[in-house]
Structure 1
Amino acid sequence: MTEIPGVDEYGVDVEIPERAVEDALAVRPDDVKPADELTFARNVFLPLTTACRYTCTYCTYYDVPGEAELMTPEDIREACRTGAEAGCTEALFTFGDDPDDRYTAIHDQLAEWGYDSIHEYLREACEIALAEGLLPHANPGDQTREQMELVADVNASMGVMLETTADVQAHSGSRAKNPGQRLHTIRTAGELGVPFTTGILVGIGEDWRDRAESLLAIRDLHERYGHVQEVIVQPVSPNERWDGGRPSEATMRRAVAMARGVLPDDVAVQVPPNLADARALLDCGVEDLGGVSPVTDDYINPDYAWPAVRELEDIADHGGVPLRERLPVYERFLPADGTENEWVSARIGRAVRDGERYQSVLAD
């Protein structure tokens, strides 16, 4: 097995047998079955700040220090209210990893508003979303246990992209992403019982073995904790900072099939329909089209607009399967009696139980 960078530093023990890698590398589209249905969630995309301590060469999300700003509580409330009125169920909160650690202005603004950290502010943002009728799903990058504990009870689900277990040049430099730290975040979610979304990024310099090991590392952690609800297979996309091209359709077909062949049946395989040709991938085991927004942009990939729900219906029709809306937390994690369980806090459980829109989605 290839040594995954950072696993010793972060105390992450993942088991990736060589035979499992060989089996994963052998998977092709003809080896998997198409899904019986496609799912998606309606969301509001809320970038709390575009500050990030990383400088990945494919990312247009982050702004340099001095240019990044924070969404105000009023901005958050207005966006959530607009989304709820449009029928959304999810408030997707994102920001770069530990932005207040690198960006003095962000730290100072948080302090002026009375918050010691971006995670304290994230908690307030989640409270606003819940009050406006949306279920929070926070994707704030790498997190310590203390950071995740601070916000877990006000999130229906959370996530972070693993991207790759490989040491790639796209992550190079003094502020490089650490695969061990990413895996530590995914493991922490499992330890805390947080329904979780993760995924791989295809085309940033990793090879096929790296993709197999990344998926197998996710599988290993899920088999221990049962917390991974979906894995995204996302192609890198050309933009103003990335001219390294995008993976071919054949590469994406094999990568999606590998994900479906490697992951347990209870973990959905997702492709983002604004970044990949979902029609060309349906027979490779795609089950979910992710969160799409009728009211906000994809701020991580601003050059690639969300498809309308009508287009998602066309994708499902192309595959001859029904399209079903879902909540940001998969139904299997929800408490049967509408209260809390090991996956969902009482706050989230009550919100789902008492929310007419949520119950309508679950009933469909």
Structure 2
Amino acid sequence: MFGAADYGVDIQVDDGDTERLLSVTPDDVSAAESLSFCRNVFVPLTTACRYTCTYCTYYEPPGQASLLSPAEIRDICERGADAGCTEALFTFGDDPDDRYERIHGQLAEWGHDSIHDYLREACDIALDCGLLPHSNPGDQTREQMGRVADLNASVGVMLETTAEVRAHGGPRAKEPGQRLATIATAGELGVPFTTGILVGIGETARDRAESILAIRELHERYGHIQEIIVQPVSNNDRWQQGSPELETLRRATAMARAGLPAEISVQSPPNLAPVRELLDCGVDDLGGVSPVTDDHVNPDYAWPALRELENIAEEAGVPLEERLPVQDRYAASEWLSPRIQSAIEADSEAGRRYRRVLESV
């Protein structure tokens, strides 16, 4: 289904499960007993992207796209470590295509054959500065993900939707099957993974149910999904069609909680969603929040201060717990690469910071 078979992945969603999920309301789920978050820095490695989604302001056209230098990466990571962060969130558009001649030329000048090759150097820099990498490189082949997996505490890509929507349209449209194949690849490689759905880009409630069930099937197969983000689309310079109604977002969030195993966290981004009005829908995670950098994917929507997160938790009557980019249950040898495990266990300022966070959860 969803074109995944074209990429070597067999996913079958049961119609009965879909119907049951469509009937879920917020009354059918419970509020979480705690809320978690992660301190991070956004590192926008490149704004080049092969896709041109109509709701996205992150990508820039060929000739205008940027590429952070190693010195810039180090500066951001050092500021993040100094501020007590534990995660370097590497964001960039999907693997730049041949139109981005200047980006490919710069990569070659710095001695790299591809953006994934450069990402490996960037992850090395983050680890050296005392941050755990979490990379969001978009669609990836097994070879591409394998190139960087051992230097990441976790990896992520938004599924967004299994539907073919006009917002993804054009000659370089995202394909749901390829997204699902990327999630499956992470499972095959044993990489803790974050994914999610984007609400309000033209998908239907059934599409959302099927997206959640497809994620569930991949988790049941590999056990690697640590969290799912339920994110509303937001107005920006390229998207003026508004955000989904609150009730739509509440139903989608409750659907995610009801449709996924309890060990998978349901995340609501506090700079994009009305979190206080979603907590009773099963939200237990507020994602990565940066005290240092902007949300480069959604620059019009500033991160809340830590005190605001504390207020949210206080109003809900639950504790707020800091976590690492790899959630606690995956912080074990069978899931972490030797490089990441040694970083967490190191007798260093960064290692002690990581362990303090682990021990506080």
Q: TM-score, normalization: structure 1?
A: 0.97
Task: Report if aligned partners of 1:163, 1:201 keep a CA contact under 8 Å in 2.
Answer: yes
Aligned equivalent of 2:100: 103
Task: Report if aligned partners of 1:136, 1:156 keep a CA contact under 8 Å in 2.
Answer: yes
**Corresponding residue SS for 2:217:** helix
Residue pairs, 1:130-279, within 5 angstroms: 130-279=127-276
| Alpha-carbon distance between aligned partners in 1 of 2:150 and 2:99, rounded to the nearest angstrom | 27
Aligned equivalent of 1:286: 283
Aligned equivalent of 1:39: 36
| Alpha-carbon distance between aligned partners in 1 of 2:98 and 2:292, rounded to the nearest angstrom | 31
Which aligned segments of 4 or more residues in structure 1 are displaced greater than 3 angstroms? none
**Corresponding residue SS for 2:7:** coil
Pick from 357, 361, 364 the counterpart of residue 357 of structure 2.
361
| Alpha-carbon distance between aligned partners in 1 of 2:230 and 2:236, rounded to the nearest angstrom | 19
1:216-257 superposed Cα distances (whole Å, 9 cap, x missing partner):
000000000000000000000000100111001111111100
| Alpha-carbon distance between aligned partners in 2 of 1:313 and 1:123, rounded to the nearest angstrom | 35
User: Per-residue deviation at 1:263?
Assistant: 0.4
User: Per-residue deviation at 1:342?
Assistant: 2.9
Aligned equivalent of 2:76: 79
* Aligned residue identity for 2:358: L
Pick from 330, 337, 345 the counterpart of residue 345 of structure 1.
337
| Alpha-carbon distance between aligned partners in 1 of 2:6 and 2:12, rounded to the nearest angstrom | 16
CA RMSD in angstroms comes to 0.7
* Aligned residue identity for 2:214: A
**Corresponding residue SS for 1:276:** coil
Query: Higher mean Cα deviation, 100-109 or 59-68?
Result: 100-109
| Alpha-carbon distance between aligned partners in 2 of 1:102 and 1:158, rounded to the nearest angstrom | 26
User: Per-residue deviation at 1:100?
Assistant: 5.1
Task: Report if aligned partners of 1:138, 1:158 keep a CA contact under 8 Å in 2.
Answer: yes
| Alpha-carbon distance between aligned partners in 2 of 1:196 and 1:250, rounded to the nearest angstrom | 28
1:177-205 superposed Cα distances (whole Å, 9 cap, x missing partner):
00000000000000000000000000000
**Corresponding residue SS for 1:12:** coil
Q: Which runs of 5+ in 1 are unaligned?
A: 336-340
User: Per-residue deviation at 1:334?
Assistant: 1.6
Pick from 303, 311, 322 the counterpart of residue 325 of structure 1.
322
1:120-152 superposed Cα distances (whole Å, 9 cap, x missing partner):
100000000000000000000000000000000
| Alpha-carbon distance between aligned partners in 2 of 1:8 and 1:351, rounded to the nearest angstrom | 38
**Corresponding residue SS for 2:91:** strand
Task: Report if aligned partners of 1:100, 1:106 keep a CA contact under 8 Å in 2.
Answer: no
User: Per-residue deviation at 1:9?
Assistant: 1.6
Task: Report if aligned partners of 2:230, 2:253 keep a CA contact under 8 Å in 1.
Answer: yes
| Alpha-carbon distance between aligned partners in 2 of 1:100 and 1:168, rounded to the nearest angstrom | 22
| Alpha-carbon distance between aligned partners in 1 of 2:4 and 2:190, rounded to the nearest angstrom | 21
Aligned equivalent of 1:94: 91
| Alpha-carbon distance between aligned partners in 2 of 1:67 and 1:325, rounded to the nearest angstrom | 37
**Corresponding residue SS for 1:13:** coil
1:248-296 superposed Cα distances (whole Å, 9 cap, x missing partner):
1111111100000000011000010000010000000000000000000
* Aligned residue identity for 2:78: R
| Alpha-carbon distance between aligned partners in 2 of 1:353 and 1:321, rounded to the nearest angstrom | 30
1:325-350 superposed Cα distances (whole Å, 9 cap, x missing partner):
00000111122xxxxx3311110001
**Corresponding residue SS for 1:121:** helix
Question: What is the aligned-residue identity percentage?
Answer: 69
| Alpha-carbon distance between aligned partners in 2 of 1:224 and 1:288, rounded to the nearest angstrom | 24
Task: Report if aligned partners of 2:5, 2:11 keep a CA contact under 8 Å in 1.
Answer: no
Q: How many residues align?
A: 356
Pick from 112, 118, 122 the counterpart of residue 121 of structure 1.
118
**Corresponding residue SS for 2:300:** coil
* Aligned residue identity for 1:358: Y
Pick from 22, 25, 29 the counterpart of residue 22 of structure 2.
25
Task: Report if aligned partners of 1:100, 1:117 keep a CA contact under 8 Å in 2.
Answer: no
* Aligned residue identity for 2:102: A
| Alpha-carbon distance between aligned partners in 2 of 1:317 and 1:278, rounded to the nearest angstrom | 13
